Structure 1
Amino acid sequence: MHFTICHELDAPLDAVELAVLSPELGPRLASKVAALESVVTVEHALEGGELLRVLRFQASAPLPIFKGYPVTRDAMSWEERSTYRLADHASSWEVTPKAQWRSYFRSRGTYRLERLPDGRTRRRVDGDIEIRLHLLGPLVERLALAEVQRTYDAEADTLRELVSA
């Protein structure tokens, strides 16, 4: 399932980019998304005009469709690895679940900041989610996408806070 999520921020691209590069982004995000127990920065290295960031996410509960099923804690944990390039104000990202769950889930995409004519900035995330579960895959993809949307909405709020701090 392909998705595009856009947010417009009332700040210039340079200020938003500094917020995107901030090591505070992940930890602050965890406090804004009810479904997340934690977001831990595993790696945050800015070298040669590129930021390599790895965030480890731990969900607090399985998706509602899985309530009543024995879903392990590992199944609700994943890492997001992204490489943000200052030259084009964009990154590529990939979500990696724990090894035993990789055959069921895949997600990757791009993240781009765009300068708007009025001194504002658009943040655009394009991605794909693939969940390989017999019969339930498409339904779980839609539920997962709703959580992804909530998370990117919260990230946009976090960027606004970081820009104004």
Structure 2
Amino acid sequence: MHFTLSHELDAPLDAVELAVLSPELGPRLASKVPLLESVVTVEHALRGGELLRVLRFQASAPLPIFKGYPIARDAMSWEERSTYRLADHSSTWQVNPKEQWRRYFRAEGTYRLDRLPDGRTRRRVDGDIEIRLRVLGPLVERLAVAEVQRTYDAEADTLRELVTP
């Protein structure tokens, strides 16, 4: 399932980009997203105009459709790996669940900052999520995209906090 999310921020691109590059960005998300227990920075390295960031997410509960079912804790853990390029203010990202769950799930996409004419910034995220479950796959994909939307809404709020002096 493809999705596109866009947020406009009342700050110039340079300020938003500094917030995107901040090592504080990932860990601040956990307190803003109800289904997240933690977000840990595994890697954060800026070299040659590129930021390689790996964040490890641990959900506190499964998606609502699976509430009441015994879901393994490690099935609710994943890493997001992204490479942000300063030259074009964009990145590619992919989500990697634990090895034993990869046959059921795939997610990847792009993340871009665009300068708006009025000194503001648009952040656009395009992605694809594929959940390979018989019968329930499309429904779970829609629920997962709703959680992704909540997470990127929280990230936009965090970016706003980081750019506000």
TM-score range, shorter chain: over 0.9
Q: Secondary structure at the match of 1:111?
A: strand
The residue number in structure 2 matching 1:42 is: 42
Aligned residue identity for 2:63: L
2:81 paired residue number: 81
TM-score where L is the length of structure 1: 0.99
CA distance in 1, matches of 2:124, 2:63: 25
Equivalent residue, structure 1, for 2:158: 158
What's the CA shift for 1:164?
0.5
Matches within 5 A, 1:6-25: 6-25=6-25
Q: Provide the alpha-carbon RMSD of the alignment.
A: 0.4
- Unpaired stretches in structure 1, ≥5 consecutive residues: none
- Equivalent residue pairs, number: 165
Cα distance between partner residues in 2 of 1:68 and 1:15: 44
* TM-score under structure 2 length normalisation: 0.99
Deviations 1:93-127 (A, max 9, x none): 00000000000000000000000000000000000
**Residue identity opposite 1:20 in structure 2:** V
**Partner deviation per Cα, 1:57-78 (whole Å, 9 max, x = no partner):** 0000001111121100000000
Look up the equivalent residue of 1:130 and give its one-letter code: E
Give 1:130 deviation, angstroms.
0.1
Deviation of the 1:135 alpha carbon: 0.3
Find the aligned partners of 2:160 and 2:142 in 1 and give their Cα distance.
27
Report the CA distance between 1:17 and its aligned residue. Answer: 0.0
Q: Report sequence identity in percent.
A: 87
Q: What residue in structure 1 maps to residue 119 of structure 2?
A: 119
1:148 is aligned to 2:139:
no
Runs of 4+ in 1 over 4 A off after TM superposition: none
> For residue 2 of structure 1, what is the aligned residue in structure 2?
2
* Distance in structure 2 (CA, Å) of the matches to 1:66 and 1:28: 26
Letter in 2 for 1:34: P
Matches within 5 A, 1:104-115: 104-115=104-115
SS at match of 2:71: coil
Deviation at 1:150, TM superposition (A): 0.1
Q: Secondary structure at the match of 1:17?
A: helix
CA deviation map 1:20-42 (0-9, x unaligned): 00000011111111110000000
CA distance in 2, matches of 1:89, 1:19: 12
| Residue in 1 that maps onto 2:31 | 31
